[in-house]
Amino acid sequence: MDRYTGGSGRAGVSAVAGDTEQGRDEGEVLRAALAAHERASRAETGRRLRVGWSSMALAVLVGIRLVQGEPPAEPPRPTPAAAVRAAPSGPAARSAHAPLAVSRPARVLVPAVGVDAPLQDIGYDPRGQIAAPPPDRPDLAGWFAQGPTPGERGTAVITGHVDTRTGPAVFYPLGALDKGATVEVPRADGRTALFTVYGIEVLKRDGFPSERVYGDLGRAELRLITCGGTFTGEAGYDANVVVFATLSGVR
* Residue 174: predicted pLDDT: 94
32 has a pLDDT exceeding 80: no
Give the pLDDT mean for 64-91.
58
The pLDDT score that the predictor gives to residue 136 is 87
Judged by average pLDDT, the poorest of 46-50, 106-110, 162-166 is 46-50
Burial state string for 139-152 with b = 16 or more CB within 10 A and e = fewer than 16: ebbbbbbbbbbbbb
**Average pLDDT score over residue span 139-148:** 95
Q: Percentage of residues in the chain with pLDDT exceeding 70? A: 62
User: Per-residue pLDDT tens for 155-207?
Assistant: 999 999 998 878 899 999 999 999 999 999 999 999 999 999 999 999 988 88
Which residue has better confidence, 89 or 42?
Answer: 89
Q: Are 181 and 248 in contact (CB under 8 A)?
A: no
Please list, in sequence order, all residues whose beta carbon lies within 8 angstroms of the beta carbon of residue 146, skipping any fewer than 6 positions away: 34, 51, 53, 123, 124
- pLDDT higher at 137 or 165: 137
Q: How confident is the model at residue 9 (pLDDT cuts 50, 70, 90)?
A: very low
Given this model, what pLDDT does residue 238 score?
Answer: 83
pLDDT of residue 28: 53
> What integer pLDDT is reported at residue 113 of this predicted model?
96
Instruction: Please tell me the predicted confidence (pLDDT) of residue 229.
Output: 84
Does this model's pTM top 0.85? My answer is no
SS3 201: strand
Secondary structure string (H, E, C) spanning the chain:
CCCCCCCCCCCCECCCCCCCHHHHHHHHHHHHHHHHHHHHHHHHHCCCCCCCCCCCCCCCCECCCCCCCCCCCCCCCCCHHHCCCCCCCCHHHHCCCCCCCCCCECEEEEHHHCEEEEEEEECECCCCCECCCCCCCCCCEEEECCCCCECECEEEEEEECCEECCEECCCHHHHHCCCCCEEEEEECCCCEEEEEEEEEEEEECCCCCHHHHHCCCCCEEEEEEEEEEEECHHHCEEEEEEEEEEEEEEC
Q: Is 197 helix (H, G, I), strand (E, B) or coil?
A: strand
Domains contained in the chain, CATH given:
21-250 (2.40.260.10)
Supply the pLDDT for residue 81. Answer: 60
